[in-house]
Structure 1
Amino acid sequence: MKDILLILLLQLIYVPVLTLRTIFLVKGMSTYASLFGVIESLIYVFGLSIVFSGEQSVVQMVVYAVGFGLGIVVGSFIERKLAIGFTTFMVNLPAKNESLIADLRQGGFGVTVFHGEGRDSIRYQLEILTKRNREDELFRIIEDHEPRAFIISYEPRKFKGGFLLKTLKKAKKTS
C-alpha cells in the first residue's frame, strides 16, 4: 500500500514538472526548462524503479497511469495560475467605442485601433497585447462595454518595442 501511495504522489509531482518544463521550453526559457528536466528525469526513474522492482503489480501500474492523468489536471491548473507569457486580443466592434478604448488605456492596456470594411459596414478592430495574467480582467472590460464584440486571442511568439515593453521596463526600474 505504501508503494501505491508513493507512486501516485510521484506522478502528481512528475507530470506537473513535465508540463512546466514543456511550457518553459516552448517559451524559450531554456534555463528553467533544463532545471525542470533534471527534476523530471529523477522523479521518472525513481517512480519506474518502484513500479518495476520485484513483482510487477497490476494495481501499481494502474495507479501509475491514473497518477499520470491526475498529474495533467494538476499541471494544467498550475500553468493557468502562473499564466506565463503574453496574449494578443483582436477585438472587432461594429462602431468605435471611445469609452471602451479610454477604459482599456486607463487600465494600463496598450490599444491600437484599426478602421476597416466589413461585409455590411465599417468595422473597428482593437489590437491589445497583454500579460496572460490579465486576460480575464481585459475580457471583463470588453464584455462590460461591448457584449457583442467578436474577440480572438492568440499567443505571440516574439515581439519588440511598443507600449507594453516600455511599461514593463519602467516597472523594473522603479522596483
Structure 2
Amino acid sequence: MANILLIFLLQIILVPTLSLRIIFVVKNMSVFAAIFGFIEALIYVFGLSIVLSGEQSIPEMLVYALGFAAGIFLGNYIENKLAIGYTTLTVNLMNNNTELVWTLRNNGYGVTVFEGMGKDGARYQLQILTKRNLEEKVTRIIEEYDPNAFIISYEPRKFKGGYLLKAMKKRKS
C-alpha cells in the first residue's frame, strides 16, 4: 500500500514538472527548463524503479497511470495560473466601438483599430497585446462593452517595440 501511495505522489509531482519544463523550453527560458529537467529525471528514475522492481502488480501500474493523468490535470492548472508570456487578442466588431477602445486604453492596454470591409459593410478589428495573465480581464471588458464581439486569442513568439514595451519601461523607472 505504501508503494501505491508513493507511486501516485511521484506521478503527481513528475507530470507537472515535465509540463513546466516544456513550457520553459518553448518560452526560451533555458535555466528554468534545465532545473525542471533535472528534477524530472530524478523523479522519473525513482518512480520507475519502484514500479519496475520486483513483481509488477496491476494495482501499481494502474496507480502509475492514474497519477500520470492527475499530474496532467495539475500541470495544466499550474500553467494556467502562471500564465507566462503574452497574448494577442484580435477582436472583430460590427461597429466602431470607441467607448470600448478608450476603456481599454484607459486601463493601460495598447489597442490598434483597423477598419475593413465585410460582406454587409464596414467592420472593425482591434489588435491588443497584453500579458497572458491579464487575458481574462481584457476579455471581460470586451464582453461588457460588446457582447457580440468575435475574439481570437493567440500567443506571439516574438515582438519588438510598441506600446507594451514602452509602458513596461516606464513602470520600471
Where does structure 1 differ by over 3 angstroms across 4 or more consecutive aligned residues? none
Q: How many residues align?
A: 173
Unaligned runs of 5+ in 1: none
Q: What whole-Å deviation, never above 9, does each CA across 1:74-131 have from its counterpart, x for those lacking one?
A: 0000000001111100111111111101100011110001111111101111000011
| Secondary structure in 2 matching 1:153 | strand
* TM superposition shift of 1:31: 1.3
Corresponding residue for residue 146 of structure 1 = 146
Q: Counterpart of 2:34?
A: 34
The 5 A counterparts of 1:110-121 are 110-121=110-121
Q: Name the residue aligned to 2:90.
A: 90
Residue 59 (structure 1) shift: 1.0
TM-score by length of 1: 0.96
Task: Give the gaps of 5 or more residues in structure 2.
Answer: none
Q: Does 1:81 align with 2:78?
A: no
TM-fit CA distance, 1:171: 2.1
Counterpart in the other structure of 2:2: 2
Match of 2:60 in 1: 60
Across the aligned residues of Structure 1 and Structure 2, the Cα RMSD in angstroms comes to: 0.8
Amino acid aligned to 2:77: F
Q: Distance in 2 between matches of 1:120 and 1:37?
A: 53
Q: Deviations over 1:7-52 (max 9, x none)?
A: 0000000000000001111111111111100000000000001111
> 1:45 — aligned with what?
45
User: Could you tell me how far apart the structure 1 residues matched to 2:61 and 2:33 are?
Assistant: 28
State the Cα distance separating 1:169 from its structure 2 match: 2.1
Amino acid across the alignment from 1:162: G
Distance 1:117 1:17 in 2: 47
Aligned to 2:22: 22
